Amino acid sequence: MFEREPITAGELMDKQFLPKPVIVEGMLPAGTYILAGTPKIGKSFLMTQLCWSVAEGIPFLGLATRKSTVLYLALEDTQERLQSRLARMFGTDWASSEFHLLFQINQQGDALIQRFQDFILEHPDTRLIVIDTLQRVRESDGSSYSYSHDYETIMPLKTFADAYDVALIVVHHTRKNEDDDNLFNQISGTNGLLGAAALFFCIRAKMMCFWSRQAGMCQTSDMCCVLIRVDAFGI
């Protein structure tokens, strides 16, 4: 016997499901995402901008946002550096109570998911969580990474995001060699990371590409070239 009894296709079609909340209109519904790019290209800058926009309920890249509580795991930043970045980007005349920051965490796997669940119990309006970066929360058994290991890393995050209707973005790195035009080959690790993710963003030198599981296609956006022009902020 199966752990759960199968249902018929007819029973499935009779079910009614609530639409997933959309955090950024036309761009970011609830789900699990990977944002990848080379070091220092502007991944953390982009995520800070996104988190701030959602927490304040202001447009992100000209797109409307749903004002929500945000949790940003800035695990490769210091408080001093992120404070300076926030001041340069948004000034100092504000006191946001919806933008929460975490700079250190020791939990991984199920313990990390429990921390997220505890946070949402305290902040039920949470709709965006960013993990910057994957390597800081990845469990390791001492062996080299494989497809199954990468898949098992992302799958619990997907299960959590689906259960709590949040957009969960994992920041990751691309390979040093970007000559391969196949986006799937540019992400560091195996395609197991994409096995459970709903969307894959890849910041490149002059554009940001993204792959959508739902659309089954790759798209590019020239407007995203502005995202990597971070020299103006001294980042």
What pLDDT was estimated at residue 106? 84
> What residue ranges of the chain have pLDDT lower than 70?
1, 140-145, 175-235
pLDDT for 97 equals 85
Can you give the pLDDT at residue 214? 42
Q: How far apart are CA 221 and CA 235, in angstroms?
A: 23
Q: Where are the beta strands (DSSP E) in the chain?
A: 22-24, 28-29, 31-37, 69-74, 99-102, 126-132, 167-173, 199-203, 208-212, 217-221
Give pLDDT, residue 202.
Answer: 64
pTM for the full predicted model: 0.79
pLDDT of residue 164: 95
pLDDT for res 192:
60
